[in-house]
Chain A
């Protein structure tokens, strides 16, 4: 077979949601240790993996990511006690949602990467990139930029006008609390 008939090399895009206290620090350490790892990984720093939402994970795939992983603290080490445990559940649920859609759930993963584990951070980055390479391109990548809808703006609910008060003046919550919902 001639060289030209080979499909162009596929470079996966991998998104890593990293907890600032552990995996992100481990990434810093990997840099300080001059460890080399796949440049395909885009790191998104988050305060705690407990903040990760299925919507964020799905949206990453909708926008064309080939693989996504969430890297959080070791069991029992979460700064917010159970954020990593919640993230594990969230990732499992998102995997089910991906399977329903028809994407391979293996494209999504949760890893424990403690702050002192620089080499592990590099290992996980390579592992996920290899996995994405094996699974092939996310079929949604081609259509990622096609607009297929989104969230509509919602007006705040309307309140009926306040009645005239005989004594003093009636106020709404928003007037008493700054930054509250406006009428």
Chain B
């Protein structure tokens, strides 16, 4: 899931300078799970903005709505009847959601309320960690399900390097050495032989951005249309 955190309120306030009618749009998918931009967080943010506006004696209206997803056009359509009434839309979606919203309503100012952090998992309540960097060429079959591209500070495909220090990384002593984790995992699985295979240099050309993907099932029909 995409993990994000809310921007500092001062930064959001600065973005909204001079805006009188604001619509806060939440996203009910990833950012709702990481407690950054779901229905509840949108209610909190809107309440904070209303209170701050009143305390500063500003004439400001802040409405709120949360849609199922901001990265699908079908759900963005539901906002069509509202957006015209507002000076700005404050989106609590991830970076992708904000851009898609701005694209769908291209005559409106769409502002981000969150900082999008990474693709990660929930370690425990309220704690997330990065697990994948979307490299477009997964090697987890070779590394015991631990991603060297994400966990290793040097993105090494043939590790460990000389900087591994009792299971920690020389780059940051707080962080685990990915290749120590990989070794331990492969040892547990009885697959240490996997480490003897030399991984070829990674094809970074598949990582060029922005990437676009068409599902196999749709490729044929798309070609026919063309």
Q: What is A's interface to B at a CB cutoff of 8 Å? A: 53-55, 58-59, 61-62, 97, 100-103, 139-140, 143, 146-152, 154-155, 157-158
CB of B176 within 8 Å of the partner chain = no
Contact mask for chain B residues 42-74; partner A; CB cutoff 8 A; 1 contact, 0 none: 011011101111110000111111111000001
Tell me if B217 is interfacial: C-beta within 8 Å of chain A.
no
12 example contacts (A-B, Cβ-Cβ < 8 A) are as follows: A55-B43, A97-B48, A140-B55, A146-B54, A148-B50, A149-B63, A149-B64, A150-B64, A151-B64, A151-B65, A152-B23, A154-B67
The answer to whether B47 touches A55, judged by C-beta atoms less than 8 angstroms apart, is: yes
Q: Is A101 touching B9 in the complex (CB atoms < 8 A)?
A: yes
Encode contact with A along B172-183: 1 for CB under 8 Å, 0 otherwise.
000000000000
B54 touches A143 (CB 8 A): yes
Q: Are A101 and B55 in contact, with the CB atoms below 8 A?
A: yes
Q: Are A152 and B75 in contact (CB under 8 A)?
A: no
A152 x B51 contact (CB < 8 A) = no
Partner of A102, one of B52, B68, B74: B52
Which residues of the other chain, B, contact A97 by a CB distance below 8 angstroms? 44, 48
Say whether, besides A100-B9, A101-B9, A148 and B43 are in contact (CB < 8 Å).
no
- Residues in B with CB closer than 8 Å to A143 are 54
Interface-centre pick from B9, B47, B52 (highest chain A CB count, 10 A): B47
Measured CA separation A55–B46 after assembly (Å): 10
Report Cα–Cα, A78/B51, bound state, in Å.
Answer: 33
Looking at A53, A101, A102, the one whose CB has the most chain B CB atoms below 10 A away is: A101
Rounded to whole angstroms, the CA-CA distance of A59 and B23 in the bound complex is: 18
Complex Cα gap A49–B136 (Å): 47
Closest beta carbon of chain A to B59's beta carbon, Å: 9
**B14 within 8 Å of A by Cβ?**
no
**Which of B40, B48, B55, B63 is in CB contact (< 8 Å) with A152?**
B63
Q: What per-residue 1/0 map shows which CB atoms of B11-39 lie under 8 Å from chain A?
A: 00000000000110000000000000000
When the two chains form their complex, are residues B62 and A148 in contact, meaning their CB atoms are under 8 A apart?
yes
Assess whether B204 is interfacial by the CB under 8 Å rule: no
Closest to A139 in B: B55
A59 to chain B, nearest CB (A): 6
Is there a chain A Cβ closer than 8 Å to B189's Cβ?
Answer: no
Within 8 Å of chain A (Cβ to Cβ): is B82?
Answer: yes
- Within the assembled complex, what's the spacing in Å between the Cα atoms of A140 and B57? 10
Does residue B78 face the partner (Cβ distance < 8 Å to A)? yes
CA of A100 to CA of B78, assembled, Å: 32
Query: Does A152 lie within 8 Å of B60, measured CB to CB?
Result: no
- Taking a contact as CB atoms closer than 8 A, the residue among A101, A150, A155 that contacts B51 in the complex is A101
Knowing A101-B48, A154-B66, A158-B74 touch, does A53 contact B61 (C-beta < 8 A)? Answer: no
CA distance A140 to B50 in the complex (A): 10
- A58/B51 in contact, CB under 8 A: yes
